[in-house]
Each structure stands twice: as structure tokens, then as C-alpha cells.
Amino acid sequence: MDVTIHRALLDRALAVDDPAGFVDIGISGDKIVEISTDELSPGHVAIQARGQLAIPPFFEPHFHLDNPLLWPSDQTADLINQSGTLFEAIDIYARVKKDRQLDDLIDKASQAVRQALSNGVLWFRGHVDIDPDSKLKMLQGVVAVKRKFSGIVDIGIIAFPQLGMARSSETVDLMYQAMENGADLVGGIPHIEKDLDDAAKQIEIIFNIAKKYNTSIDMHVDEIDDPYWRSLELLADKTIAENYQGRVSASHCCAMAAWDEATFQRIIPKVIAAQITIVTNPLTNLFLQGREDQPPVRRGVPPLDRLIKAGVNVACGHDDMNNMFYPFGSMNPLDAALFAAHAGYLTTPHLIRKAFEMPGYSAARSFGIQDYGLKVGNPAHLLLLPVQSELDALRLHPSPTLVMRAGKVLVQTEVRQTFSEIVPQ
């Protein structure tokens, strides 16, 4: 065999003879050819897992690749988001985009992708602003980043009409141009429109574009605390009407946290019927939402426990990093999953497992990847995490010591000694 991995602890979601025990993994070319509880003969490259958890790599299903690492310096203090609100952040970024240099965008976006790769991300979706001011400039930079990482990290580019388009024919034209110039998916933001009628118009336009290019839809939905906003229901109805089930993702869905029970009970069955994936972004939503509410303050995270129990596919994303929208961010998917577990009341073993799956199996379903997972015959994409369970993966959220794509090692670090190895009991 070309590569063998010895004494790995297999993700317990997979069926093997002894899921609690160690396995050896054999790889030939770019495929997994054997997973055995028996010891395999060392391959051309033999990797000692030493009891680490072997899992398939992560996804970053929601990130803005055109604006990471824009946290203002002391010389640009006027770019600080003083209110901490989403709408002030949008206004600040609109000013930044006017003079943005492509070399700077490409450099900072590349740093974000490299950091994500070091944390085990091999699939990425990046939203890129498309609007009358910046036109296709942001897209041009992100397309260059996609090409730069081709064969290493798969980047799907989402054309994102940040300022709306129901009343902007220029933006509609730009969205079509974006699909001709490197965008892979159609994005949207219906709650930025004047009302639900205009939101419905935007959704209609989005489906027209998506159908023309036979591509999937990945939208910002109801990223606001106001319970008036129910564009998720409009999106679900349209998805079913257009027979687009399983090809639509709805991110944020913050208003859901403010809906009354009757609204929740009416809309969620439609979401399930439409096979829409909800992508929660707890890092930024906990930061940006609820700023103007009177008590009780809403924090903008939908009831994840109820969604999962109802059968909704729920993934999680990082959204932003070190900018006017969010000053922090590590590009570690386990950080977003851990925050989701806290904010979404994912506290039982089953729900903790679901939190662990959000940047993995759940995201794979939304991306439509059929051969995901550590199984014989699947591509040899895998990570080694220096933990022994999904609970510890979330609790400790470590970076992987091994990142492999198609049988090739992309990232490898030494396993750190544990405290017990350094200090006697």
C-alpha cells in the first residue's frame, strides 16, 4: 500500500467490527482500500496515529472571503463598529470596498484559507459582495484565490447581493455577470429588502438565475431580530414549487429565535419538505444580534435543538474573521460547533454528536457530496485529531495533527505530550 495509518481510533459513526477499538487504515493511490482491526503491513509511508481520532475532513459552509483580517488599525479608528450592529458593519464595509486593492484582498483571503486548511477544512463556500458600488471587483479577487488553492481546498464562490436587488435592476444584471465570471452558486439576502413582498421578488430573481445556470442556492435569511421577517417560509415555498429540494441552504435565520410558537410550527415542516439546510453562524450572530432589543434580549441563534429533533439538517459556519463584523475568529470549525452547542442547547449525548457533525456530515449533505466519510472505496480524505471522542473534540477543539487529501499529506504536526506524560500522577 502507498500509505498506512496505524492504531487510529475510528469515528464511532462508522460501522466496523470493533468501533471502540483501534484500526489500521490502508490507502492505495487516492482511495481507502482497507480498514482493519488487524495490524496492516506498513505501507510506503507509515503514519503512527497513537490512538488519535480519525475522521473525515471539515467544511466551512459559510464565510465571507472578500473581507477577513480587516480589523482597523489605530490609524483607522473611524472603521470601528461602535454600535456592534450588523447594519453599521455593512455601512463600514461599503466604505472599505470603494478603495479596496485586489492584492490586499487576495493576500488576506489566502491567509484565511490557509488557516482553515490547518484546521482540517477541505471544502469551503465563500460569499462575495456583488453591488453597484464594487460591481465584480471583489469577485475577481476571490476567483484568483480559488484558482490558487485548486486541488488543495475546494472553494465554491457565492454571488451575494449584500445591498438587495428587488429594486435594483443594475444589481440583477451584475448577478448574472457574476455567474458568467466565476461565481458557482447564487446567494441572496431577502430581509435587506423593504418588506416581505420585495423579499419574495428577490427570491424569485434568485431562482431565475439559479435555474439558468443549473446551480445551487445559498442565502442569508432573516439575519435580524424582528419576528416580522419570515422570508425562510417564502424560500421554502419557492424551493418546493421549483422542485429544488436539497439544493438550497439558508444561513443565520436569526428571526426564528423571535418567532411565536405558531409561526415556528407552521414554517419548520415546510423547511423539512424543501430539504433546506440551516447553516447557523453562532460566533457572529451572538455578537451582532440583540443590540437594540429591550429585555429579554434575543441573541439571534435559532433553536438548534428543536430543529435537529424535528429532522432539519443543521450545519455551522464561521461567517467572518477579524473585521468590522466580528473581531475574533480562528477558522477552526470546531469553535463554531462548540458555540452552536452552547447557544443551541445541544447538551445530551445525541445532540452533542449532532454538534460535532455540523461542520462534517451535515455540511457534506448540504454540499451534495456522496462519498464523504472513512469507508473502503471512498477518497482518502481524512484528519487525525489528538482526542479520543467527539465530546473531547468539541471540548478541547484542537487542530488536527494530520490533514490528508486523496492520499496526500497536506498538513502534519507532532502530537503534543499530554499533561499526564509530563507530570506524574
Q: pLDDT tens digits, residue range 78-88?
A: 788 999 999 99
Joined together, the cell numbers standing for residue 356 give 460535532
Considering the domain architecture, whether residues 110 and 235 belong to the same structural domain is answered as yes
Q: Are residues 385 and 350 part of one domain?
A: no
Higher pLDDT, 11 or 314: 314
256 shares a domain with 181: yes
Other Cβ atoms closer than 10 A to 3: 21
Question: How confident is the model at residue 317, as a pLDDT?
Answer: 98
Asked if the model's pLDDT at residue 425 lies above 90, the reply is no
CATH code for position 196 = 3.20.20.140
Q: Tell me whether residue 390 is one of the annotated catalytic residues.
A: no
Residue 65 reports pLDDT greater than 70: yes
Read off the pLDDT of residues 297-306 as tens digits, 9 standing for 90 and up: 677 899 999 9
d(CA 319, CA 124): 11
Rg of the chain over all Cα atoms, to the nearest angstrom: 22
pTM given for the model: 0.94
Distances (CA, A) of 279 to 214, 264, 344: 22, 17, 13
Provide the mean pLDDT of the chain. Answer: 93
45 and 193 fall within a common domain: no
Sign of the alpha-carbon dihedral angle for 167, 172, 173, 175: positive
According to DSSP, residue 407 is labeled T
Strand partners, 315: 279
Q: How confident is the model at residue 404 (pLDDT cuts 50, 70, 90)?
A: very high
Consecutive H or E run containing 316: strand 314-316
- pLDDT at site 416: 64
Judged against a pLDDT cut of 70, whether residue 195 lies above it is answered with yes
pLDDT above 70 (res 292): no
- Residue 114 C-alpha cell reads as 490557509
Averaged pLDDT for residues 216-224: 97
- Of 12-21, 94-103, 145-154, 390-399, which range is least confident? 12-21
Q: What is the pLDDT of residues 128-185, one digit of tens each?
A: 999 999 999 999 999 999 999 999 999 999 999 999 999 999 999 999 999 999 999 9
Where is 257: in which H helix or E strand? Answer: none
Domain's final residue, options 320, 336, 367: 367
| Other beta carbons less than 10 A from residue 180's beta carbon | 9
Tally Cβ neighbours within 10 Å of residue 87: 14
344 and 400 part of one domain: no
* pLDDT (0 to 100) of residue 151: 97
Please report the pLDDT score of residue 17 as a whole number.
Answer: 47
Distance of CA 381 to the CA centre of its chain: 18
Which entry of 193, 223, 233, 357 is annotated as an active-site residue?
Answer: 223
Where does the pLDDT of residue 421 fall: very low under 50, low under 70, confident under 90, or very high at 90 and above? very low
Domain boundary among 352, 367, 382: 367
- Regarding whether 349 and 289 lie in a shared domain, the answer is yes
Q: DSSP letter for 191, please.
A: G
Can you give the pLDDT at residue 298?
Answer: 73
Q: For residue 48, give the CATH number of its domain.
A: 2.30.40.10
- Whether residue 81 sits in one domain with residue 41: no
Percent of all residues in the chain with a pLDDT value above 90, rounded to a whole number: 86
- Taking only the tens place, the pLDDT of each residue in 361-394 is 999 999 999 999 999 999 999 999 999 889 999 9
Angle separating helix axes 261-274 and 231-241, nearest 10 degrees: 30
Query: Is the same domain home to 232 and 165?
Result: yes
Structural domain boundaries, residue 238: 58-367
Beta strands (DSSP E) in 29-161 are: 31-36, 45-48, 53-55, 58-64, 121-129, 154-160
- Whether 349 and 407 map to the same domain: the answer is no
Lookup: cell for 92: 463600514
Q: Which of 348, 367, 386 is the last residue of a domain?
A: 367
Residue 294 has pLDDT above 70, yes or no: no
Total domains in the chain come to 2
Strands 53-55 and 45-48, sheet pairing: unpaired
In the predicted model, what is the mean pLDDT of residues 349-358?
96
Mean pLDDT: which of 7-21, 250-264, 402-416 is highest? 250-264
The answer to whether the beta carbons of residues 96 and 138 sit under 8 Å apart is: no
Q: 191 and 275 share a domain? A: yes
Q: Are residues 203 and 285 in the same domain?
A: yes
Q: How much is the pLDDT for 385?
A: 96
Residues 123 and 247 both lie in one domain: yes
pLDDT grade for 414, boundaries at 50, 70 and 90: confident
Q: Which three cell numbers stand for residue 267?
A: 414554517
